[in-house]
Chain A
Amino acid sequence: MIARLLATLLLVCCATLARAGAADDTLAKFLDDKFPSTAAAISELVASGAPNAAPILQALADGRLLIDPVARVLVYKTMAGAVINARTGEILGGVDVAAFKKVRVNNALRSAIDAALGSLTLASPDAAVRLAAAEAVFKSRDAKALPALDVALARETNARVAEVMSEARAAIIAGDASAPAADRLAALEALKRRGDADAQGLIEDVATTAEAGAVKTAAQSALSAIQTRLALWNAVQNLWYGVSASSVLLLAAIGLAITFGVMGVINMAHGEMVMLGAYATFFVQSLLPPSLSQWSLAFALPLAFIVAGAVGVLIERLVIRYLYGRPLETLLATWGVSLILQQTVRTIFGANNRQVTAPAFMSGSMEWGGLSITSGRLWIIALAILVFAALQFVLRATPFGLRMRAVTQNRRMASAMGISTDNIDMLAFGLGSGIAGIAGVALSQIDNVSPNLGQGYIIDSFMVVVFGGVGNLWGTLFGAVTLGLANKLLEPFIGAVLGKILLLVFIILFIQKRPRGLFALKGRAVEA
């Protein structure tokens, strides 16, 4: 029953297709197989806007459009090898195409076909396809696409697509030396409004090739306007990269600043806490059913905090506790712990990179003028701000924070006032490690999740902490933002590696001036 219904439906569809198909006389022109009539057939086919125009033209371009010399019927072979009647669209079975004759094309026809296909996609019902086609015309600047473009532009309802179409039109006209000067000036104006690197290239062409006159001057002024604009956007883009890098640095370093501030020990395993957080994200993602995958980060964030925090507490209880007053030995012991953690993860999860896919709301990017902002980075910045604010709250407004600050400022005095420094140390270490775990969730979105993940961030985190000082969290924020911005703003001029070297040298020199960082603790507990 259903099968019959479907069959009827299919028939109806086919009939509609056939009716909407190209007119017989147009297709008959292909049967002549002479270049002029083929050319005429191509333009008529495009003008008709028939739905089977695109497959027929594609077949023609590929040499798959065939003539049955006996029945005088035009057929084409699909990529899959089926033979289809060009007029009716019905599939012909049991025909031997070996005897059929190809419709011949020459180079002039080939470019006509390309342009025709381009304008056909300009008429596609799908706005995204039209947009892509308009962009393609903009890039190719093919004057033959102009008529199709004009038609499409007149019909266009989508504002964004219409804008690109008119820009494509401007691109063609601006480069056309035979067009009226007034049109070219208007076109240059449109290109100037677009103002990106493509438009710059176009206008540069015009500025060099155009004869001296209004067009040339207009092109030159448009060029310099675009260059200024692009340079400005470039600077803004670098600034954005810098802010983005700062947020990553802040997330990675802030936990380190807490443990270093409270206990005066450098936790060399801090990078591995970040790595554990990233693996927690991977773990959550591989466990969750696909229907919940959008929510994976909601589970991963607390899990990463708990796992990394618990490991941190464990390290404090088992190792660091016994090394009080010996910060250098603590440094070595935690380095050993970091090696063990790395190898453990490598043994469990393998040495290869693990893929963490970003949820839909974190993937993609948005364009804002000349600025391109990836959503993932934006969320990481938001997370960094959130973590910073939450930590400030914990430190400033909770009893635990108060005790932690007391221990940071003067351990002995805090102890004398009845604060259990032992407990504070443990909790502070857990907190710092947990924050590192959260950083790991963020980093899993932008970096490879591998056992070596933490190693790449540890030295940078040290630099942030050493530069900012441990007097308060603002120092860490300041350090992260300064180093992140400096790194990305130096990059375009001297390259990433040299920029990093310069920053390291700068910090080494800076430490000589301010041995305790920018925001140092004050008071007698500090000086040795």
Chain B
Amino acid sequence: MKAPLTRLDLLGYLFLAATIGAAILAPLLALATPKSSPFFLPPYVVALLGKYLCYAILAIALDLVWGYCGILSLGHGAFFALGGYAMGMYLMRQIGARGVYANPLLPDFMVFLNWKELPLAWWGFHSFAYAALMVALVPGLLAFAFGWFAFRSRVTGVYLSIITQALTYALKLAFFRNDFGFGGNNGLTDFKDVLGLNVQADSTRAALFSLSALALALAYLVSRAIVGSKYGKALTAIRDAESRVRFLGYRVENYKLFVFVVSAIIAGVAGALYVPQVGIINPSEFDPANSIEAVIWVAVGGRGTLVGAALGAIVVNFAKTYFTGAFPEYWLFALGGLFVLATLFLPKGLLGLIAAPAAAAPAAPVREAAKEAAP
């Protein structure tokens, strides 16, 4: 693996430096800088940026499957939300007797629903280690089960996209139900502390931000390692000509399954970091529209670049915060326009403008375009 450094690799190093730098710098600026200083980071900005970082991790997860393997998942929000729910359940159990009903075992909504004992699904969530395991395990298992069937039956293209969408839609409907046992409509909220630290405290927020930045760097490194390996080359080949790869003797479904599961776990971790920072998780996170929005982050930043996906998430969400504050009625125009313009004029995304052609962005004509046109 002694390839010459491409511009994309350079960007990758820059990106790593930036995320690790942010992880170190943000707590300093938020906690150790006097409020009067121009470099002071107000707590709400820390929380907002932390949220963007979680979205960036989700974007990297999505880019891993879409940009490198051609699996357009319109349900990655489901993995994100499941990770978030696992973390939310831990945070709910941490509230303990400090809830409105002061029940030491049951979260408030269960007392409200007149439940007498803790449902099986909630067992063990008082332990952080168990919750952390579930953050990875639940999305990973779901992705494994889903991918096992879907890839083996060679469900591809738009069909796969639609059933991933159906998956997240079904989960959304399920989580909306009170008797499903995860807080129903209101979701999980009113968190008190995480690992003994107050979630509202500035120091905790700064720490969560740093963790998110480090997780982003880690997600990038893992993804980079996967796509840079021999295995990653096969993935790219599957993206560009699935049948040919299969005819050459590769087990396409196994390749796809592995990357899909890894991607789901990364998304779950992103969700787990997201929940303590925004303070709530509810079924609307499963909305199919959220998952599609995540796809546009990747498309805008540049699919198949990883760095671009993360940047796309941050840029688009920054724009969203700005627009919904300044001109709320134009945000949907802007977002819709972004979808159209990015697909029409920026097939390689923003990063495609600067990255070298050697970058792994897909080139449309080589692909089996004609066959994909016919369903």
Q: Is the interface of B mostly helix, strand, loop or mixed?
A: helix
Q: Which residue on chain B has the smallest CB distance to residue A260?
A: B375
CA distance A504 to B288 in the complex (A): 14
Assess the A512–B153 pair: CB atoms within 8 A.
yes
- With contacts A463-B166, A513-B153 taken as known, whether A339 is within 8 angstroms of B375 at the C-beta atoms is no
Query: Of A13-21, A290-298, A318-326, which binds chain B?
Result: A318-326
A265 contacts B339, C-beta separation under 8 Å: no
Query: Closest CB of chain A to B187's CB: distance in Å?
Result: 16
Q: How large is the interface on B (under 10, 10 to 19, 20 to 34, 35 or more residues)?
A: 35 or more
Provide the residues of chain B in CB contact with A339, threshold 8 Å.
Answer: 332-333, 335-336, 339
- Chain B CB count within 10 A is highest, among A340, A513, A521, for A340
- Which residues of chain A from 297 to 334 have any CB-CB distance to chain B below 8 Å in the complex? 319, 322-333
Cα(A340)–Cα(B154), bound, Å: 34
Cβ of B110 to closest chain A Cβ, rounded Å: 20
User: Which A321-380 residues sit within 8 Å CB-CB of chain B?
Assistant: 322-333, 335-344, 346-347
Residue of A nearest to B332 (CB): A343
The number of chain A residues with a CB under 8 A from chain B is 59
Cβ-defined partner of B329 (8 Å) among A343, A462, A511, A516: A343
Q: Mark B166-204, 1 if CB is under 8 A from A, else 0.
A: 110110011011000000000000000000000000000
Determine whether the beta carbon of B163 is less than 8 Å from that of A466.
yes
Asked if A327 and B347 sit within 8 Å, CB to CB, the answer is no
A323 touches B343 (CB 8 A): yes
A175 to chain B, nearest CB (A): 38
Q: Is A110 an interface residue (CB 8 A)?
A: no
The answer to whether B340 and A333 have CB atoms under 8 Å apart is yes
Which A500-522 residues sit within 8 Å CB-CB of chain B?
500-501, 504-505, 507-509, 511-513, 515-516, 521
Contact at B166–A459, with CB atoms within 8 Å?
yes
Whether B373 and A338, one on each chain, are in contact in the complex, defined by CB atoms closer than 8 angstroms, is no
Q: Say whether B163 contacts A508, CB under 8 Å.
A: yes
Chain A residue at minimal CB-CB distance from B149: A512
- Beta-carbon contact of B333 and A411 below 8 Å: no
Residue of B with least CB distance to A509: B149
Q: Are A336 and B338 in contact (CB under 8 A)?
A: yes
Q: How many Å lie between the Cα of A277 and that of B329 in the bound state?
A: 23
Specify which of B165, B176, B299 is in contact with A462 (CB 8 Å cutoff): B165
B296 and A325 within 8 A (CB): no
Please provide the chain B residues from 124 to 174 with a CB less than 8 Å away from any CB of chain A in the complex: 146, 149-150, 152-159, 161-163, 165-167, 169-170, 173-174
A347 touches B339 (CB 8 A): no
User: Is B299 within 8 A of A332, CB to CB?
Assistant: yes
Closest to B176 in A: A497
Q: A325-B370, A332-B339 are in contact. Are A508 and B166 (CB under 8 A)?
A: yes
Q: Is the CB of B332 within 8 A of A459?
A: no
Bound together, the chains give a CA A507 to CA B164 distance in angstroms of: 11
Contact B173 A329 (CB under 8 A): no
A337 to B333, CA, bound (A): 9
Contact B370 A411 (CB under 8 A): yes
Contacts A339-B335, A501-B170 given; indicate if A459 touches B159 (C-beta within 8 A).
no
Smallest CB separation, B81 vs chain A (Å): 16
Q: Once the chains bind, are B166 and A410 in contact (CB under 8 Å)?
A: no
B367 adjacent to chain A (CB < 8 Å):
yes
Contact between B343 and A504, CB atoms less than 8 A apart? no
Establish whether residues B292 and A332, one from each chain, have CB atoms under 8 Å apart when the complex forms: yes
B364 contacts partner chain A, Cβ-Cβ < 8 Å: yes
Q: Residue A148 at the B interface, CB < 8 A?
A: no
What is the bound-complex CA distance between A528 and B240, given in angstroms?
12
- Given the complex of chains A and B, what is the CA–CA distance between A326 and B371 in angstroms? 10
Interface residues of B in 294-331 (CB under 8 A from A): 295-296, 299, 329-330
Judged by a CB distance under 8 angstroms, whether A525 is at the interface is: yes
Decide: A261 near B375, CB < 8 A? Known: A507-B163, A511-B159: yes
Q: Is B248 an interface residue (CB 8 A)?
A: no
- Give the distance in Å from the alpha carbon of A344 to the alpha carbon of B296 in the complex: 20
Q: Say yes or no for B72: interface residue by CB 8 A criterion.
A: yes
User: Can you name 20 A-B residue pairings with CB atoms under 8 Å?
Assistant: A264-B158, A324-B369, A328-B70, A333-B343, A336-B296, A336-B339, A336-B340, A338-B336, A339-B336, A343-B329, A347-B329, A462-B165, A501-B170, A507-B166, A509-B149, A512-B149, A512-B152, A512-B153, A515-B156, A526-B375
Given contacts A340-B337, A504-B166, A526-B375, 12 further A-B contacts (CB under 8 A): A260-B158, A264-B158, A323-B343, A325-B370, A326-B364, A329-B343, A331-B158, A340-B332, A459-B169, A508-B163, A511-B159, A515-B155
